[in-house]
Structure 1
Amino acid sequence: MSRKPPQPLHPLLSATSLVPTIQRLLAAESSLLDTLTSSIPPHEARYATVILPIQESQDATQAAAGTFSMLRYSGPPDKATRDAVAEAQKLWVDADAERLKRGDVYALVQAVWDRDEEDVSEEGRRVVEDMWLEFRHAGHGVLDREGVEGYLARRTRIEELKRMFQANLSRDHGGVWFAEDELSGVPEIESSRWGRDAGRVFVKLDRAGYDAILGYADSSETRNKMHLANEDRLQGNVGLYKQILLLRDENARVLGYDSHAAFRIRRRTAPSTAWVGEFLNKLSEELLPHGWREIARLGKIKKQHLESRGEEGGEEIMAWDYYYYTRLLEQESAVDQDLVSEWFPLRHTLQSMLDLFHSFLGLQFVPVPDQDLEGKIWSEGVEVWAVWEGRGERRGEFVGYLYADVLYREGKYRGNCNVNLQCGYTKPDGSRVNPATILMCSFNPPTASSCALLKHREVVTLFHELGHALHDLVSRTRHTRFHGTRVTPDFGEAPSTMLESWCWMPAELVRMSRHFTRVDESYMTAWKEAHPGRELPAEKMPVEIAENVAESRGLNRALWFLRQLVFARFDLEVNTQPSTQALRELDEVALFNELQDSLSLRPSPDQKGYGFVHSNHLISLYDAGYYSYLSAQAFAADFFEANFAKDPRDPEAWESYRRGVLEFGGGKGEMEIMRGFLGREPGTGALLRSLGLREDE
């Protein structure tokens, strides 16, 4: 396909141009607010004359925020760019605080809110409500001028602390030295990545190193050594987290809320913090008996394994045992994750997933040629596709751009996420700005003998994040405020979580697979040298292996949910303390470890872990909202059971899902979207049935 997209690739801003660009855009927005407040008295304020111009200004500047968000996650190698990103972000946060200080702007927004114009579109009415809430949640209508300024000063300080917290996450956290004989059991493909010196091996404290040691090292002492080092890292974030908690608590209480969670729930799908607490308690009650049975099964495998090695030991599964004996359990179920990964070379798997979306929705993903990417991508290896409509009445229309930055590198965000580079919206002249969205992942890079390979859980992760990107691409809101994944977090994870189901379908696994030896002749040569006399593996994953993978979905699933409940219960507890004094006296480390012992069922008796500060989830977006990952599981199971269970490839079902869920973004109430799609209230029944905890109804 040789069509030229009607919208050019998003321009990159250099270290020297980033800050001046942000300053210019923020000055223009401030000037607009000055014009509106000086020319429109509150009694004449209307949606079209106040709210719409402000929102259209924000639509036009969103891409600049997307740029420094991208740079923050991608980890620029040069200090000049990192400093420019930090300065740009500070300018943005400070300008937002200045905007929300303005009582004259609030007066206009309040007047429009009170007027409640009937001829405003549903999305427009949501814009009014959201803008009004921004000012109310900054203290207007509740606090006097001095109180508003104090509130916003604390909020600005929170943003500073969050940046410090995030900077700590991005830094290299060292590693652990091991003797060669301590690494018995670790595959060569993993250990070949590590540095060596005088017979010792240095394993970095990153996800790849942690997974390799905890999952493969035969020695319990080796696994425990790595586990303790990992648990001990990022202690500096504990103090930052405490400061953030206290400032958020203070801000919530001065606005009249009982807690930060009560403040946050106002902009969530869940109706109340009490509902969240009840939801989590019910899940815990349902899951714990099944979790104990799963732990007992692992304990038996541990005892048998130790006896086979002539070692003594009981059946208790410690925190550093879990991944090792889960791997042995998978092997008992005829699932060898290393073998499975050979059929999932990263680049091929990603392309296969795009092919699935072509089949499901008719979307066409056309690679942007390398020569067109010069000066448009932030790191070598970033891929870009132009996305087009391939069927129906919109056939031939440009949809947007998909970027993929999927390999780990130093300084880059260590997790996996989706980043909005450019949100879609309609300009005042009626023309469309199409979205640009980024898969930002940190999968292991290639080795000397193999391309980058994905374990099955990483296949699931990639498809999950691609689900967020799909949500971004097909959303068709008028404004950026509610585009794509800009929805309440307790709903926003549901669409991508639902897509994970396709990674557990044997037929889809076979379709996505291709043995890495067929990717490049050099890999085939290396494989033959390493396996003399053996026949090459099949190009496509054998059906029996795919079926074994699919059947393994139920293995330790209750324990996975219980692990999520540790964070969800912790997050709710710290954000619903009865008083500021109670929060000040709360020992977060002790609480987190108590919940780990009681819910994850994997004790670590001699170690206080700091896992709650190992990612930014509990400080950014999912603060007082980590339960969203669990409520999203319930919503996702409901979506799948209602629409896709009979035929996961049904084009009509996919079109219904696209039109009835994805295209709305957040331009319609999230609960209303679910009711409209399901024809009823969403519930937990489908989730419990999928876990085998409830009979079919």
Structure 2
Amino acid sequence: MNPLLNTFNSTYNTAPFSEIKTEHFLPALKKNIEEAKAEIDAIVNNNESPTFENTIEALDFSGEQLDRVSSIFFNLNSAETNETIQKIAQEISPLLSDFSNDITLNEALFKRVKSVYDSKDELDLTNEQLTLLDKRYKGFSRNGANLADDKKEKLREIDKKLSQLKLKFGENVLAETNAFEMLITNEADLSGLPDGAKEAAKQLAESKNKEGWLFTLDYPSYIPFMTYADNRELRKKLAISAGSKAFKGDKLDNQENVLNIVKLRHERANLLGYKTHAHFVLEERMAETPENVNSFLNDLLEKAKPAAQKEFKNLEQFAKELDNIDRLEKWDSAYYSEKLKQKLFSLDDELLKPYFKLEHVINGAFTIANKLFDLHFQEIDTIDKYHEDVLTYKVTDSKGDLISIFYADFFPRPGKRNGAWMTSFKPQFIKEGNNSRPHVSIVCNFTKPTKSKPSLLTFNEVTTLFHEFGHALHGMLANTTYPSISGTSVYWDFVELPSQVLENWCYEKEALELFATHYETGEVIPMDLVEKIKESATFHEGMQTLRQLSFGLLDMSWHGSESPENIKSVKAHESETFKNTTLYPDVIENCMSTAFSHIFQGGYSSGYYSYKWAEVLDADAFEYFKEAGIFNKEVALKFKDHVLSQGGTENPMKLYKRFRGQEPKPEALLKRAGLLK
């Protein structure tokens, strides 16, 4: 019996993970595709003339089971994968790509959609319906509906190849991450490392039947080593291994994949009548054009670069005075930054970590969500999970009504890719008067508890948790009619606003007092530490900004190029792009693009600038909260009603202005970052 072939009859309609076997996916997805095709045929063959309801709405609600099963499958491929799942992904991706093209290249269907679109002025549609109609029409016109038959075939070929290349890219990065291990057998080589990091490394070695201390490229292992280990040669070894992921000229090398992805995306954009892939993507973003993005990034660069250069010079001087380092290298960056931060602010992560026990931070995020949005989180064990580490919660409002099911998955393991992200297993929508609530998940890679210590987070991990939880709130509080514009289905350069704005609470005394208590004594974080967190918030902000901008500019250089077929060397192209943002000497063995999963595997191609773009929005939005009080119910309600619950129902700038009463001011960001003279 294949549980994926029927609607789930579990509590809250959640995914029946314990019943799902890997071999269920392929037959289920193939069958789901057939069923979805039949739904599309029914729309096309409807004898009644096209209306918003029988065409646009019917299209948005079609393929519900296919969407659910594929989201379960691809979420597992990111968080709990194995070779079999990866093989299925390679087989299923072209089928899904074909199915998607079957819809957008279906002439009869497009004719119906166009007929409704052309008569939209005579129809009495709500803002949300108009947005959906516009999105649906563009979904066809921007994806080949107006092409001649031979070009449609070409488009299908490109999409199929792209879906497989992106998967291959991600598989190579994960395999490279899992393949590297650095075993240390001489305890002297651990000098400088905190006890917690040593204990975790010992435990990891034991789990693999090895003597000594084991370090990997997983963040909870990699970051402490790069930040604290005194042994410069070992930091170099680790840094080069991390920086050379999928750049070794072997079977896991991604250079060809990068060049092919970029070429195919460009070819696809040209086929559809766009100058570059960036022009295609940005037409549906707040930024609108590559010119706007580049001018935004370069304007920030101009303001941040002098500060970054000054900070770098100070760091060089500091390393020279402290350890007689003649040339600061990339593997010195975190180490000497941390030492300088400790000197300037008497603050280091080891001092803070006891106040950030994972469970306390989770409860803190929940308490803040309760104070702002009246949400209640109750841990439940009556629903299935895909791994024993996953925590599951029922989220309700003040009336006790279900708002969402929430999954949280916090620790690294071999089947999970690095980093942190939010995703969903089921969207929110309203159908036949029933408001069907979302199932939302966040996935992170934090330090696991050890025999002697619980999971204690660095301050950076605390802000990461709040960031992903901000995305989760955007998903949970969704309250729209149509699934395709619900929750986080918004313009890509707007999606980071809810996540980034929530990070601000981590720096506020009123918020920290709610959850930052010492895991052994229960003592609330001392106010002098809170002051130091705030003071140090802009430490090396110039260098951080430069780094973020360099990634955004790299993304634009790949996807805004009018002749990517002329790019022959990934490394040379990257070095040329980084020329204006480089502080550290180049490392010949390293290349960022070959592991830049955000833009080559995830959805951030031509969109990496969004992080900085949304920072302007979030700094401006939080300014509003601060003026009224960070737990002000009125401002929180406005944010919930005009931003969080609205999904992609309207142009994001309209939604933002409705919340804020004005357009965002970039000064708020520059002021917060300490970059405003």
TM-score when normalising by structure 1 = 0.89
CA offset digits 1:339-396 (Å, max 9, x no partner): 211111112211221111111211111111x3x13xx110002111111111xxxx23
Report the equivalent of 1:367. 379
**Compared CA separation, residues 40 and 264, structure 1 to 2 (3 A):** farther
Are 2:281 and 1:299 aligned? no
Rounded to whole Å, the distance in 1 between the matches of 2:279 and 2:11 is 45
Are 2:180 and 1:174 aligned? yes
Query: Which residue among 120, 126, 129 is the counterpart of 2:134?
Result: 129
Matches within 5 A, 1:124-523: 124-141=129-146, 143-171=147-175, 172-178=178-184, 180=186, 181-194=188-201, 195=205, 201-235=213-247, 236-306=253-323, 312-314=324-326, 316-332=327-343, 333-368=345-380, 370=381, 372-373=382-383, 376-390=384-398, 395-427=399-431, 429-517=432-520
Report the equivalent of 2:593. 612
Rounded to whole Å, the distance in 1 between the matches of 2:41 and 2:510 is 60
Pairwise CA distance, 1:559: 1.0
Asked if the contact 2:517–2:523 (Cα under 8 Å) also holds between the matched residues in 1, the reply is yes
Find the residue that maps to 2:283 and give its secondary structure: helix
Are 2:117 and 1:110 aligned? no
Asked if the contact 2:98–2:156 (Cα under 8 Å) also holds between the matched residues in 1, the reply is no
Give, as a single letter, the amino acid of the residue that structure 1 aligns with 2:644. L
Give, as a single letter, the amino acid of the residue that structure 1 aligns with 2:77. R
Asked if the contact 1:138–1:148 (Cα under 8 Å) also holds between the matched residues in 2, the reply is no
Find the residue that maps to 2:537 and give its secondary structure: helix
Asked if the contact 2:93–2:160 (Cα under 8 Å) also holds between the matched residues in 1, the reply is no
Asked if the contact 2:193–2:229 (Cα under 8 Å) also holds between the matched residues in 1, the reply is yes
CA offset digits 1:392-419 (Å, max 9, x no partner): xxx2321011111111111112110001
Q: Which moved more, 1:537-546 or 1:435-444?
A: 537-546
Pairwise CA distance, 1:40: 4.0
Give, as a single letter, the amino acid of the residue that structure 2 aligns with 1:7. Y
Rounded to whole Å, the distance in 2 between the matches of 1:507 and 1:297 is 34
Asked if the contact 1:510–1:546 (Cα under 8 Å) also holds between the matched residues in 2, the reply is no
Asked if the contact 1:570–1:591 (Cα under 8 Å) also holds between the matched residues in 2, the reply is no
Are 2:532 and 1:548 aligned? yes
**Compared CA separation, residues 554 and 58, structure 1 to 2 (3 A):** same
Asked if the contact 1:475–1:483 (Cα under 8 Å) also holds between the matched residues in 2, the reply is yes
Rounded to whole Å, the distance in 1 between the matches of 2:60 and 2:180 is 45
Rounded to whole Å, the distance in 1 between the matches of 2:50 and 2:557 is 42
Find the residue that maps to 2:525 and give its secondary structure: coil
Query: Which residue among 642, 655, 665 is the counterpart of 1:673?
Result: 655
Q: Which ranges of structure 2 fall in alignment gaps of 5 or more residues? A: 1-9, 248-252
Report the equivalent of 2:7. none
**Compared CA separation, residues 121 and 586, structure 1 to 2 (3 A):** farther
**Compared CA separation, residues 337 and 597, structure 1 to 2 (3 A):** farther
Asked if the contact 1:176–1:229 (Cα under 8 Å) also holds between the matched residues in 2, the reply is no
**Compared CA separation, residues 207 and 615, structure 1 to 2 (3 A):** farther
Find the residue that maps to 1:490 and give its secondary structure: coil
Report the equivalent of 1:55. 60
Pairwise CA distance, 1:89: 4.3
Matches within 5 A, 1:44-123: 44-59=49-64, 61-76=66-81, 79-84=83-88, 86-117=90-121, 118-123=123-128
**Compared CA separation, residues 580 and 187, structure 1 to 2 (3 A):** closer
Pairwise CA distance, 1:578: 2.6
Report the equivalent of 1:644. 626
Asked if the contact 1:68–1:89 (Cα under 8 Å) also holds between the matched residues in 2, the reply is no
**Compared CA separation, residues 193 and 7, structure 1 to 2 (3 A):** closer
Asked if the contact 1:295–1:317 (Cα under 8 Å) also holds between the matched residues in 2, the reply is no
CA root-mean-square deviation: 2.2
CA offset digits 1:295-333 (Å, max 9, x no partner): 122223212211xxxxx333x432111100111122111
Matches within 5 A, 1:26-41: 26-40=33-47
Q: Which ranges of structure 1 fall in alignment gaps of 5 or more residues? A: 307-311, 518-536
TM-score when normalising by structure 2 = 0.91
Give, as a single letter, the amino acid of the residue that structure 2 aligns with 1:342. P
Find the residue that maps to 2:455 and give its secondary structure: coil
Asked if the contact 2:77–2:85 (Cα under 8 Å) also holds between the matched residues in 1, the reply is no
Find the residue that maps to 1:214 and give its secondary structure: helix
Pairwise CA distance, 1:445: 1.0
Asked if the contact 1:514–1:540 (Cα under 8 Å) also holds between the matched residues in 2, the reply is yes
Pairwise CA distance, 1:679: 2.1
Q: Which moved more, 1:561-570 or 1:197-206?
A: 197-206
Deviating beyond 6 angstroms after TM superposition, the runs of 4 or more aligned structure 1 residues are 196-200
Query: Which residue among 574, 577, 598 is the counterpart of 1:592?
Result: 574
Pairwise CA distance, 1:641: 1.4
Give, as a single letter, the amino acid of the residue that structure 2 aligns with 1:450. K
CA offset digits 1:583-639 (Å, max 9, x no partner): x335332232344464142223x4242223324211221101110011011111111
Asked if the contact 2:266–2:559 (Cα under 8 Å) also holds between the matched residues in 1, the reply is yes
Asked if the contact 2:480–2:646 (Cα under 8 Å) also holds between the matched residues in 1, the reply is yes
Asked if the contact 1:183–1:222 (Cα under 8 Å) also holds between the matched residues in 2, the reply is no
Rounded to whole Å, the distance in 2 between the matches of 1:360 and 1:496 is 15
Pairwise CA distance, 1:173: 2.9
CA offset digits 1:22-47 (Å, max 9, x no partner): 23332222112222323348xx3221
- Count of aligned positions: 650
Rounded to whole Å, the distance in 2 between the matches of 1:274 and 1:597 is 20
Pairwise CA distance, 1:294: 1.3
Report the equivalent of 1:621. 603
